[in-house]
Amino acid sequence: MNEQQRSMLLQSASSFPPPKGTKLSYGTAGFRADASILQSTVFRIGILAALRSLKTGGAVIGLMITASHNKVSDNGVKIADPSGGMITQDWEPFADCIANAPDPESLVQLINEFAKKENIPLDGAKTATVLLGRDTRPSGESLVKAAKQGICSVVGAVATDMGIITTPQLHWMVRARNKGLKASELDYFEQLSSSFRCLIDLIPKKSGDNNPIGKLIVDCANGVGGEKLQVLKEKLNGLHLEIRNSGESGILNEGVGADYVQKEKVAPQGFGPADVGIRCASLDGDADRLVYFTVISNGNNKINLVDGDKILSLFALFIKDQLSILSDKNEYQPRVGVVQTAYANGASTKYLNQLGLEVIFTPTGVKYLHGKAEEYDIGIYFEANGHGTILFSEHFLNWLEGRKNEPSSTTKEKQNAVKRLWAVSKLINQAVGDALSGLLLVEAILQHMGWSVDKWNELYHDLPSRQLKVKVADRSAVVTTYAETSVEKPPGIQEAINAITEKYPEGRCFVRPSGTEDVVRVYAEAKTQETADEVAASVAKLVDQFLGFTAS
Ligand code: 16G
Ligand code: MG
């Protein structure tokens, strides 16, 4: 590191003292905390983003300021790698180290050592580019400023502020920029709307009704998704859409949004008896999660939840149908992988297995699911909470491209299947789960099938489940294995969990330390709601005995 670089870093770092008495950690999806303590973290992650760009030969890196579905007073920061995916996990320990460096001197020393180890040129000879985005949180603006100062304290680094955008839009732009594709926000909307229109145009013509499935009402969590969905709505006339909770009056994520709807299994604010039976959807605060639901009549705000597992099943079914139209004996057979986590409802896994699909489990967190899905020609991944997407390999897309240009001997239906798969690959975000593109794909498939939301929901029946969280003295005392389905530490707890679940028909339960909150989570499933509740409550008690503040 030359003297100019060193003094730039020292000088800017002195304006961002770290919070006292708080240990910050990169977590499942970046740093998250009360926004008031994040200035120094975001500044330092700005530096990291610039270093990452230098390390990757000047590729564009993304830096997103969001705390997703968490409360409005929280905020967070995460980094997108050149592929548009999450930053490589190898860099997470460095992120933790610099976030917690006590003073500018030690920060600069850590950066210097890391740059040497990683051969990162810190002489200003190369340009680094970082794209910045933020959600609608009021704290976002000043955190973006802190990020810019961090980025600009690396010689030769340039920050481009994309303003208020969804998390998936930022990931999409990073990927597009690095592939030399059109990468503006307008291009994003154009790509989504044109591929959606293409899927609608390819629906086999039936009784003349061009939208047999009626209107959709979308709860936008009072977040960034509302404004963006409005743009899409204006571009698409084939979509009968009503937007609610777009943020004009309500509070971000408060009693609204995909996380609330999925965890509490109740209708969000602004929905009520007048909406009974209508197809509804919920996005989360930064629009990377999507769930559907219907309001049940006289049900005290109760809903029928159509969660990420059902979205996954719908996508998997559609992809499988299109592939089977195309399949020829002796021909290349694309490998399709379906990736779930332990939270996936057991009934969904059974259904996917019955479809003959390969189902793989990973730990919770997009970085794990995404990485696994990338191993397939078509990798479909979803968390039950509504985060997921479909990834297509270059190899598969090249094959598809070849089929597009095949002679006219191929049947029309085959040509259409090729066009549909191609359109899906353009519509569904290839960088990360995206509620807006996911919503358009669900809508296109439902229209294709002519299915109501109830028909879709009937694909299989969820086993009743319950999620609880337990506050513990130290969540890192829980160590899990086998994709979080079994606890290794503390010893003895897994045996005790097994002894409880064994007593209940179709009982299944796991515990895992949260990656975003200071709690241990408990998930239980059983044949009835009462028994699922019982299993969850007994296991939560057990966790408290082993690890709670009351534990000896
Ligand atoms: C984050 C993850 C999400 C995961 C959740 C689990 C990303 C982009 N998001 O929101 O995938 O389901 O954390 O939270 O990776 P938990 O560890 O607190 O249960
Ligand atoms: Mg989110």
Question: Does residue 383 lie in a domain region?
Answer: yes
Question: Does residue 82 lie in a domain region?
Answer: yes
CA atoms within 13 A on the CB side of 503: 11
| H or E element in which residue 382 lies | strand 378-382
322 and 364 belong to one structural domain: yes
Q: Check which CATH number belongs to the domain holding 315 and give it.
A: 3.40.120
14 and 155 belong to one structural domain: yes
pLDDT for 234: 94
Residue 514 Cα: closest atom of ligand 1: 17
68 included as an active-site residue: yes
Q: Identify which ligand lies nearest to the alpha carbon of 340.
A: 1
62 and 93 belong to one structural domain: yes
Domain total in the chain: 4
297 and 359 belong to one structural domain: no
Q: Check which CATH number belongs to the domain holding 492 and give it.
A: 3.30.310.50
267 and 367 belong to one structural domain: no
Angle 121-125-130 (CA atoms, 0-180°, nearest 5)? 75
Residue 517 Cα: closest atom of ligand 1: 18
The alpha-helical segments, DSSP class H, found in 133-223 are: 140-152, 167-178, 185-201
Please report, in tens digits, the pLDDT of each residue of the chain (552 residues total). Answer: 889 999 999 999 999 999 998 888 888 889 999 999 999 999 999 999 999 999 999 999 999 999 999 999 999 999 999 999 999 999 999 999 999 999 999 999 999 999 999 999 888 888 999 999 999 999 999 999 999 999 999 999 999 999 999 999 999 999 999 999 999 999 999 999 999 999 999 999 875 555 667 899 999 999 999 999 999 999 997 689 999 999 999 999 999 999 999 999 999 999 999 999 999 999 999 999 999 999 998 778 999 999 999 999 999 999 999 999 998 766 788 999 999 999 999 999 999 999 999 999 999 999 999 999 999 999 999 999 999 999 999 999 999 999 887 765 578 889 999 999 999 999 999 999 999 999 999 999 999 999 999 999 999 999 999 999 999 988 999 999 999 999 999 999 999 999 999 999 999 999 999 988 889 999 999 999 999 999 999 999 999 999 877 543
Domain residues for the domain of 393 are: 309-437+447-457
Rg (CA), the chain: 24
**Distance, CA of 257 to CA of 139 (rounded, Å):** 20
User: Does ligand 1 lie within 6 Å of residue 28's CB atom?
Assistant: yes
- Please give the distance, rounded to the nearest whole angstrom, from the Cα atom of residue 247 to the centre of ligand 1: 23
Q: Which of 271, 288, 304 is the last residue of a domain?
A: 304
295 and 413 belong to one structural domain: no
407 and 394 belong to one structural domain: yes
pLDDT for 124: 81
Structure tokens at 49: 């983003």
Question: Does residue 194 lie in a domain region?
Answer: no
Beta bridge partners of 519: 471
User: Does ligand 1 lie within 6 Å of residue 313's CB atom?
Assistant: no
Q: What are phi and psi of 488, to 5 degrees?
A: -90, -40
Structure tokens at 79: 């980094």
| H or E element in which residue 204 lies | none
Question: Does residue 8 lie in a domain region?
Answer: yes
19 and 151 belong to one structural domain: yes
Pocket residue to mutate for ligand 1, from 26, 28, 86, most atoms within 8 A of Cβ: 28
**Distance, CA of 303 to CA of 295 (rounded, Å):** 5
Q: Which of 304, 328, 354 is the last residue of a domain?
A: 304
Question: Does residue 379 lie in a domain region?
Answer: yes
21 and 138 belong to one structural domain: yes
Q: What are phi and psi of 292, to 5 degrees?
A: -110, 165
- Please give the distance, rounded to the nearest whole angstrom, from the Cα atom of residue 28 to the centre of ligand 1: 6
From residue 217, alpha-carbon distances to 14, 93, 178, 292, 397 in Å are 49, 42, 35, 10, 34
**Distance, CA of 462 to CA of 303 (rounded, Å):** 13
Question: Does residue 175 lie in a domain region?
Answer: no
Q: Which of 250, 272, 304 is the last residue of a domain?
A: 304
CA atoms within 13 A on the CB side of 507: 18
pLDDT for 518: 83
- Give me the catalytic one of 12, 53, 68, 195: 68
- Please give the distance, rounded to the nearest whole angstrom, from the Cα atom of residue 364 to the centre of ligand 1: 6
Q: Whose CA is nearest to atom 16 of ligand 1?
A: 514
User: Does ligand 1 lie within 6 Å of residue 385's CB atom?
Assistant: yes
Residue 341 Cα: closest atom of ligand 1: 12
Q: Check which CATH number belongs to the domain holding 158 and give it.
A: 3.40.120.10
pLDDT for 123: 82
The DSSP output letter for 83 is: T
- Please give the distance, rounded to the nearest whole angstrom, from the Cα atom of residue 517 to the centre of ligand 1: 10
356 and 294 belong to one structural domain: no
User: Does ligand 1 lie within 6 Å of residue 383's CB atom?
Assistant: yes
pLDDT for 207: 55
- Please give the distance, rounded to the nearest whole angstrom, from the Cα atom of residue 485 to the centre of ligand 1: 16
Question: Does residue 248 lie in a domain region?
Answer: yes
Q: Please answer whether residues 159 and 147 qualify as being in contact, where contact means their C-beta atoms are separated by less than 8 angstroms.
A: yes
Residue 365 Cα: closest atom of ligand 1: 11
337 and 272 belong to one structural domain: no
405 and 375 belong to one structural domain: yes
Question: Does residue 533 lie in a domain region?
Answer: yes
